Structures are given as C-alpha cells and as structure tokens.
Amino acid sequence: MITFITTFTLKGDDAETFEQLFKEHAEFMTAQRGFLGFRMVRSMSKPGTYVNVGHWADTDAHRAALSTPEFASHVQAMSPFVEVTADLYTEVAAHAPAAG
C-alpha cells in the first residue's frame, strides 16, 4: 500500500466551489483500480488549507489514475481555486489503540 498526501490551499475564499469540485474528483478516484480510500480534512487554524490522504494498492494503480484525461480535467477545474502540493509516501510506523 502507498499513501498519496495532497495539500490544497485556497487562492481566495470560495471554499464551497472547491469542496464541490473535490467531491466530484473523489467520486472519480474511488472508481479507479487500486484505490483503497481517502480522508480529506480541513485545518482548524487555517480554514483555507485542506489535506487529503489517499491510499492506493500500489504506485502503478496510482500512476494509471493520474494519467487519465478525466484526472487532468479535474486538476484543470480546481486549479483556479487552490494551490496544490503532493507526494507519495510509504508507511514506516503505525499505532492503533488496543480494543476494549
């Protein structure tokens, strides 16, 4: 499993439009081969900053999704509203509380 972490920073104050565009993008991504899930969070101290943590089966599946015309179209639609930084990560440690 690999993790793709993306930070979105609003260029203006149109959070509603960005969130709708991201929802459409997420619907597309969830249908892609090898997609395992995601979690999008918004900063409480910087409300114009969002972080999306997506999980993929492997780098090939992730690369295939990013190479589609649909992905490029989503990027183009969101680009007027946000600045984006992103990178792939692999897990080096994890912890979950004990059940009970």
Instruction: Look at residue 74 in the predicted model and tell me its pLDDT.
Output: 96
Secondary structure in 3-state letters for 12-40: CCCHHHHHHHHHHHHHHHHCCCCEEEEEE
Instruction: Look at residue 27 in the predicted model and tell me its pLDDT.
Output: 96
Environment class of 44 (CB within 10 Å of its CB; exposed 0-12, middle 13-18, buried 19+): exposed
Instruction: Look at residue 6 in the predicted model and tell me its pLDDT.
Output: 97
Per-residue pLDDT of the chain (100 residues; tens, 9 = 90+): 999 999 999 999 999 999 999 999 999 999 999 999 999 999 999 999 999 999 999 999 999 999 999 999 999 999 999 999 999 999 999 998 988 7
Instruction: Look at residue 99 in the predicted model and tell me its pLDDT.
Output: 84
pTM of the predicted model as reported, rounded to 2 decimal places: 0.90
Show Cβ contacts of residue 67 under 8 Å, excluding neighbours closer than 6 positions. none
For residues 14 and 96, the answer to whether their CB atoms sit within 8 Å is no
For the record, the structure tokens of 14 come out as: 């149109």
**What type of residue sits at position 89?**
Y
Instruction: Look at residue 46 in the predicted model and tell me its pLDDT.
Output: 95
d(CA 35, CA 7): 19
25 Cα distance to chain centroid: 9
Instruction: Look at residue 1 in the predicted model and tell me its pLDDT.
Output: 93
